[in-house]
Structure 1
Amino acid sequence: MSKFNEIFLDLEAAILNQRFISGDLLPSENELVKQYNVSRETIRKALNLLLEKGYIQKIQGKGSVVLDVKRFDFPVSGLTSYKELQVAQQMNSQTIVMHNGLQPVSQELADHLTIPLNTPVLYLERLRKVNGEVVIVDKDYLLTSIVPSIPTDAAEDSLYHYIEHTLGLTIGYAQKEITVDPITEEDKQLMNLKDDTHVVVVRSDVYLENTTLFQHTESRHRLDRFRFVDFARRRNSL
């Protein structure tokens, strides 16, 4: 790993762990050069990564100001696994695998995935507990031609880590749809909904780097525990 990436990860961890909070100034470039014993160019590359990721804003004559970083924010853009989100936001979380096996697809899903009706797909259903309460139900449908099976312990840890590091596949991108839907009887049974009448549903089609669609996901979130965010930086027009 390059040195500027190491410094970026170190500063990112400091922000996520709230050693620097919203409104704080990061140490100056000169101070960071001395702290990490690297060149000014290396520090600038690390700070630019923080800038691009939405952790800081550079203010002329002032320095690098830390932006507001909220816990349990769910990124709208990007393709982040739940495990990565859990680690980044230090969530006290547990994953429970409710189903892991083959299941024939419905007509609607067959049309969506462009596969014949009743084609078996690998179906994963996982409950995400945060602080002891089930707040997310994840349903994953994976083409067996790409992911024939997944060990339950891997499904409990990270599906994407297994796909990328064990199967050696490269996940490229996803197309997402976010809606607010009325709760179902299944939602009531599986989640600690309290007085909620709706859930936030994120439906994703996930593609490999070679543009092969291999996964459809429906992720149902309790309204009061997550907010869906993005960070947009204005690009100068020509």
Structure 2
Amino acid sequence: MLNRKDPIPLYVQLYRRLKQDIIKGTYSNGSMIPSEAQLIKQYNVTRTTIRKAVSTLAQEGLVETIHGKGTVVSLRELDYNVWNFGSFTDYLRMYNETPKSLVIENKVVVHDEKKYFKLLRGRGINKNGEIVYLTLDNSLIPYDLFPGIEKYDFSVESFYNIMKTVYNIKPDHVNIRIFPVIASGLAQELFKINETTPILRVEGTLYSKDSIELEKISLTYSPNINFNIVSSVGDRTQY
């Protein structure tokens, strides 16, 4: 049931409950969520509350209301071209935050018959003496472009800074997909969240100006992060 003593509006509580059920797969893509009558009975709320909650889900692209049928789960993966993709370290330092990185795995691997350097890190900030992790970064870096990359200590070094200053390679743009996931065991431990918490994952490829692959990217974001994308019509998308 919803908490009527909570200062959070009932429609927001209901929206969050339904969103979590969608992310968990309780209501799968293409299936119907409960009707207004069913939700009224289940949560003891008004039609206005239900419609505001469903409208919020629709604005996020999670559901679609079909006249005469009901509300259908309509998950759509978002595709963006992101330009001027920057360094996590540099970004945090702009805001006078102290970046922290935990190297979980770093080794040379073979993927699709090509040699890569695999780098798995937890990235975060130092808040009052405690590390708060914001992202779980999984990178595959082409070894032929970055020979010897494994010798660097990426608990303190920025890959993008090494790329530019040591290898004289400049990243230009990245094609990514953004989609919701349920946190893995590692993400749960790192972000201190439970197994039902929905979070965002970004997957894609970083390229040079000549469209040479520089990095395969898989980023899992903590729910503490606000993920903002600003785009302008007829121009390059900015991140």
TM-score range, shorter chain: 0.5 to 0.7
Distance 1:226 1:165 in 2: 29
SS, match of residue 227 in structure 1: coil
SS, match of residue 172 in structure 2: strand
Q: 2:95 aligns with which of 77, 89, 93?
A: 89
2:118 aligned partner: 123
SS, match of residue 90 in structure 1: coil
2:178 aligned partner: 178
- Opposite residue 166 of structure 1, the aligned amino acid is V
- The alpha-carbon deviation at position 154 of structure 1 amounts to 4.8
Deviations 1:43-95 (A, max 9, x none): xxxxxxxxxxxxxxxxxxxxxxxxxxxxxxxxx65311111211122324311
2:190 aligned partner: 190
Query: Gaps spanning 5+ residues in structure 2: where?
Result: 1-81, 235-239
1:50 aligned partner: none
Distance 1:177 1:149 in 2: 30
**Correspondence list, 1:10-25, <5 A:** none
- Opposite residue 160 of structure 2, the aligned amino acid is Y
**Percent identical across equivalent pairs?**
13
**Correspondence list, 1:50-199, <5 A:** 78-105=84-111, 110=112, 116=113, 119-130=114-125, 131=127, 132-150=131-149, 151-154=151-154, 156-193=156-193, 197-199=197-199
Structure 1 residues 93 and 214 mapped into 2: Cα distance closer, same or farther (>3 Å)? closer
SS, match of residue 173 in structure 1: strand
- Opposite residue 221 of structure 1, the aligned amino acid is Y
- Opposite residue 134 of structure 2, the aligned amino acid is V
Deviations 1:212-237 (A, max 9, x none): 113101111111x11111334577xx
Query: Gaps spanning 5+ residues in structure 1: where?
Result: 1-75, 111-115
Deviations 1:174-229 (A, max 9, x none): 11111111111232233322576122111120112221113101111111x11111
CA RMSD of aligned residues (A): 2.3
- The alpha-carbon deviation at position 101 of structure 1 amounts to 1.6
- Opposite residue 145 of structure 2, the aligned amino acid is I
Distance 1:174 1:226 in 2: 20
Distance 1:94 1:164 in 2: 21
Distance 2:231 2:215 in 1: 27
SS, match of residue 153 in structure 2: helix
SS, match of residue 156 in structure 1: coil
- The alpha-carbon deviation at position 141 of structure 1 amounts to 0.2
SS, match of residue 84 in structure 2: coil
